[in-house]
Amino acid sequence: MSDTGNFLPLRGILRENENLGEKSFFGVGGAAELLFIPSNMDDLVLFLRERPNDAQITILGAMSNVLIRAGGIKGVVIILGEWFGRIFLEGNVMEVGAAVGCSKLSSFAMNNELGGFEFLMGIPGTIGGAIKMNAGCYDSSISDRLIECEGVDFDGRIRWFRLQDMRFGYRASSIPDNVILTRAWFRGDPSVNYSISRRVNEIVAMRKNDQPQNRRSCGSVFKNVESRRAWELIDAAGCRGLRVGGAVISEKHCNFIINEENASSDDIEDLGELVIQKVLKNSGIRLEWEIMRLGTRDIKR
C-alpha cells in the first residue's frame, strides 16, 4: 500500500512514513503510512479517483484536536495545502478555503469590518474541521454564519452542502465521513452594534485567563454532557491535577490534558480514560471524547 508508484504523477507532496506526532499539538504519536498534500483541487480529485480501492483515507487539518497513537495511521493521510488556505471577499460574503485557520478567518472578518466571527479568535484548528464538528464557544458556533460548503468524496466526486443539508448539532454535523471539505461560504454582518476589535480583544483576554497557554495541549478533551459542563464534572470527581506518566489534567482548566513531561500518546489516552471512569463513578455521567483518537496503539503494523 505504501508504494508511491501505485499512484499517477501528482503535483502535490506524496511521502511515505511521514511523522505526524511531531506536527500535532500534543507533540506525540506515530507516522502516516502515506501522506498526501494536494497542490490544488484538481490534484486532490485526480488522487482520489485513481487511488487503490483498498487505500484507507484519513483527513487531518492543523492537528489541534487529535491524538495520534504511537502505531501511526495506516493508509493515506490527506492534509490540504496552501491552495486551500485562501480567503476571497465579495460584498459581505467570504469564500474560505478549508485549510484556513479559524483565527485567520476571525482576523480577516475583523479587518473587513464584518461581525459574527470574533469567537473564532484563538481556536487553533482549520475551517474544514471546525465545520465538520460545528466548533464553537462563547455562545457562538461556526454554523451560525455558514451559507454552504463544497467538498469532494473519496471517489473524487464534487459534493455541495447547503446549510439546511448539514443538520448541525452540538459538536456534530451530518456531513459524511467520506467527504473532504474544500471550501465554504460565510455571510458576515457589516452592521453590528459593537466594536469588533474590542470584542476580539475581550475573547483573547478570556482565553488567556481561563485556559493554559503555551502548553502542549489539544484544548477541550471531552464534550459537555446533558447540559453539564465537562470541566465541572471532572473537577467534582477530583481529577484536577490527575496524572498518568507525563500527562496531567490542567490545574487551570481541568478539561485540558497537558503533555507536561514527554508524555506518550498512551499516557494521554490512559489519563482520559481514567477521567471518564472517575466522572462516571462520581456522577453517573459518561463523558465522551471531543478529541479524535487516530491510529493504532501497537507500533507493529
- For the annotated catalytic residues, the residue numbers are 171, 220, 290
With contact defined as beta carbons under 8 Å apart, do 184 and 150 qualify?
yes
In the chain, the N- to C-terminal Cα span, in Å, equals: 12
In the DSSP assignment, the letter for residue 139 is T
**Residues 99/295, Cβ–Cβ less than 8 Å:** no
**Largest CA-CA distance found in the chain, in angstroms, rounded:** 58
21, 150, 246, 265 from 269: Cα distances, Å: 14, 33, 11, 6
Q: Are 262 and 217 in contact (CB under 8 A)?
A: no
Give the angle subtended at the CA of 31 by the CAs of 28 and 36, to the nearest 5°.
125
Q: Record the cell numbers describing residue 294, joined without a space.
A: 487516530
Residue 189 DSSP symbol: B
